[in-house]
Structure formats: C-alpha cells, structure tokens
Amino acid sequence: MNGPKKMLSADEALELLLSHARTVDEIEKIHTTHALGRVLAEPLVSSVTVPPLDNSAMDGYAMACSSLNPVGETRLRVAQRIPAGSVGHALEHGTAARIFTGAPVPLGADAVVMQEDCTLEGDTVVIGKAPQPGTNIRRAGEDIAAGHQVLDAGVKMRAQEMGLAASIGLADVPVYRKLRVALFFTGDEIVMPGEPLEEGEIYNSNRYTLLGLLEGMGCRVADYGIVPDNLAATVEVLKQAWHEADLIVTSGGVSVGEEDHVKAAVESLGKLDMWKVAMKPGKPIAYGTVHDTPFIGLPGNPVSAFATFCLFVRPYILRCQGVAQVTPRSYMLPAAFHWNKSGPRREFVRARLEPQAEGGLGVAIYPNQGSGVLTSAVWGEGLAEIRENSMVEHGDMVKFTPFTELLG
C-alpha cells in the first residue's frame, strides 16, 4: 500500500466495498422446497392463471342473484353439491348449489352466500337477504394472470416467495450458487470455549458470532479456526483459503500493532486497500485481494466485529449473492436518551425501542457502549446512528436500524 490512507466516512467505506462486489456467475436449479434464503438468478413468469377459475371464497350456497326475492326470504332447491376439486354443471334457474371453499362457481351462479347466513330445510335452502352479484366469489386471474412476471431476479427467497413459486407450478427455481466464505481468527490470547483459560486469555466469541452471521446469510463457510499470531502462519492459511473461497473474512490482526500480521500477509500474496473508518465501534477494517479472491479483515473487539459485519460485510455479501436490494430499512424515531459525547466519528450505538411515558415508542440505548460489551448486542434490537459532531437530546429524532434488517 502506497502511503497512508485517509480515514473514510462510513458512507464512503460502504460505497468502496459495494463498488468492488461482484455477483457469483454460476446458476443452479434447485427444488423449490430448498429455496429458502437463496437468491433468484432469473425472473419467474407464470404460465398459468391463478386462480384458474372463478371459485368460492366460502363454504355456502352458489346461486343467481336474479332468482332471489329482493325483499324478504327466498327458498331455492339445492340441486347439486360441489366440493373443492370438482366442477359442477350449469346452474338451473331457481336452484342453488351447495359449494365449498375453493370449488369452481358453476355457470349461471353469480354469488355465494355463506352457510351461516342460510337455513337448510331438507333439500331447500332459505336465504334471508339477497346478496349483491360477485359476493364471496374469487375471480379467475385476480391473483396472477398467465404471462405475468411474479418475481424479479435478485429476490431473496422467503417462505412467501416459495409459496408463490409453487402457486404457478414451479417445482424448481433458478438461483445463484451459494457464496463460499473462508473464515479465520488471529490472536494468541483467544482460546476455544471448553478449554481452560490461562491468565491473559479470553474465549473466542467472534468465531461463533461470525459463523452465525455468515450461515444466517446462506453462505457456505470454511472455518479455519484460530491462526497463531505470526506472519508465516497467516500467510499459510491465506494460501489455503484463497483458491477455495469467493471471499476471505478474518477477525483481528488488521490494526497497526507489532502482533497484527494480517496486513503484511495479505500484501505478500496480493494487494491491500486498507482504510480506517470514522466510526465507533470498529475503526480498523481492511479490504483487498489475495491473488484474485476478495479479502475483508474485521476488528477483533466483539462488538466492533459484529457491527462492522452488519454495516459493511452484510451488504457486500448480499451484492455478491445477487441480491438487488442491499440497503437496510431504517426509521426516524424519538430518542429516549441524552448524548453529549460529540466527536468526529459516527457512532452506532446498541439500542432498542421502549414505551415512553408521553406515549409511543422511543429509542433507548444500553448504558455501556464499550466495543467489548457483547451483552449490549444481545440486549439491543438494533443500532441507533449518531452523526459526526452531533449531540442528542431526549426527543430528538434519531435513525434506528433494527437487527431484523441487519441480520440474514
């Protein structure tokens, strides 16, 4: 890297990352039942009309409104029975058809009266009040017309998209293959849960946090574990990872300390564009390539790693996965806190929504916003954003991004 890089704003850092993101170029067809969390590689177009025929929205009786008494009761003979999956015959004038939800409405009927509003006397149904034409009838094609595009490419499949694909008869859908991510951690002070702690050691929480975040995004993760704090070991694991992955993610070792070897290791195998982001938590972040494989290095502090992943790595991965919309939805809400720590770095504080005495919801923040306080991320429901060189008074509007928009 030639010379020091200026500290980028959070917006500039995200723009830089997204400008380098490239969508995987391999497409596969998978069964629709396995499509949860996958990204559509092509639009889905319906070859059928949904529903295919006018059908009943209720269990009840189908009839022609013209055969009903507009004032008072009408008695009609029940001439046929139409369960779902069957097709009745044309309705004779002055008769009704017993019909069930989803069954096609017979020719000649233009309304369905629900069974609770009718009285059955033998083979005669008594209707107390005449319905309007179209009552309780779902029209053919009112959901989807044949030839209509129902889903765009770049949509991340949820349960409802899976159901929609099935409703137009698609047993398989085209998706981008899963992104392969190599993950490892540096730091001689970190040990795995289950091992005894020696003086000066801590458990490696970041391994579990980042594994959960990556797997929650549908990535195929190769976990290389903890790498010793030396240059040779770091270079060796990068050599192994670069040709097996679409992206390498690390935690720790990207600062400027004597025991931080990731920067030198990456530069020995490729190039590194390293920036310091004007934000808290999480200032040291690295981006570059190991040969032709993108590399992102995250801070080692637990909250810093969590927050920088949510704010930067997640949208980068979404873009690589082919997702069209990578920007999380945020909401402007009143602050239920005071903030008088104005500084040059944008702060992303762990926050949640709490009812206020004056009514409505306010954004409350965890009392300890230290970058090592992972309990703040568990307590919180999202991140509240405090702009550079700003102070916040109770009731001021702040930007709140829920974790539901930042995870997965």
User: For residues 100 and 59, what is the distance between their CA atoms, to the nearest angstrom?
Assistant: 4
Angle at which helices 262-269 and 231-242 pack, to 10 degrees? 50
Query: Domain check: are 172 and 196 in the same one?
Result: no
User: For residues 49 and 141, what is the distance between their CA atoms, to the nearest angstrom?
Assistant: 5
Query: Domain check: are 215 and 186 in the same one?
Result: yes
156 beta partners: 39
Query: Domain check: are 41 and 160 in the same one?
Result: yes
- Residue 290 lies inside a defined structural domain of this protein: yes
Query: Domain check: are 303 and 222 in the same one?
Result: yes
Residue range 345-401, pLDDT digits in tens: 999 999 999 999 889 999 999 999 999 999 999 999 999 999 999 999 999 999 999
Domain harbouring 354, CATH code: 2.40.340.10
The pLDDT of residue 342 is 85
Range of 348's domain? 331-402
Query: Domain check: are 38 and 171 in the same one?
Result: yes
Query: Domain check: are 246 and 109 in the same one?
Result: no
Counting Cα atoms < 13 Å in the Cβ hemisphere of 65 gives 13
User: For residues 104 and 76, what is the distance between their CA atoms, to the nearest angstrom?
Assistant: 20
- Give the three-state DSSP class for 396: coil
Write the DSSP assignment of 136-185 as a string of letters.
TEEPTTSSB-TT-EEE-TTPBP-HHHHHHHHHTT-SEEEEEPPPEEEEEE
Task: Say if residues 159 and 36 touch (Cβ distance below 8 Å).
Answer: yes
- Give the three-state DSSP class for 383: strand
Query: Domain check: are 221 and 280 in the same one?
Result: yes
Nearest to 76 by CA among 116, 126, 128: 126
Percentages helix, strand, coil for the chain (3-state, rounded to 5) are 20, 35, 45
Task: Say if residues 86 and 55 touch (Cβ distance below 8 Å).
Answer: no
Mean pLDDT (the chain, rounded): 93
Token pair, residue 116, equals 């609770």
Task: Say if residues 351 and 318 touch (Cβ distance below 8 Å).
Answer: no
Query: Domain check: are 203 and 312 in the same one?
Result: yes
Query: Domain check: are 167 and 299 in the same one?
Result: no
Residues in CB range of 397: below 8 A, 6 or more apart: 332, 333, 334, 335
Please name the amino acid found at residue 201: E
- Residue 316 lies inside a defined structural domain of this protein: yes
Query: Domain check: are 113 and 60 in the same one?
Result: yes
For 306, the enclosing helix (H) or strand (E) is helix 302-308
What is the torsional sign of CA 124, 130, 136, 140? positive
Query: Domain check: are 239 and 164 in the same one?
Result: no
The residue out of 321, 348, 363 marking a domain boundary is: 321
pTM: 0.89
Residues in CB range of 280: below 8 A, 6 or more apart: 343, 345, 346, 347, 348, 371
| Range from 23-32, 106-115, 199-208, 376-385 carrying the lowest mean pLDDT | 199-208
Residue range 156-214, pLDDT digits in tens: 999 999 999 999 999 999 999 999 999 999 877 888 899 998 888 899 999 999 999 99
Please name the amino acid found at residue 82: I
The pLDDT of residue 5 is 57
| Range from 1-15, 112-126, 214-228, 239-253 carrying the lowest mean pLDDT | 1-15
For 62, the enclosing helix (H) or strand (E) is strand 60-63
The residue out of 291, 321, 351 marking a domain boundary is: 321
User: For residues 111 and 325, what is the distance between their CA atoms, to the nearest angstrom?
Assistant: 43
Mean pLDDT of 54-66: 97
Q: How many domains does the chain have?
A: 4
- Residue 130 lies inside a defined structural domain of this protein: yes
Query: Domain check: are 352 and 251 in the same one?
Result: no
Determine what percent of the chain is predicted with pLDDT higher than 70.
97
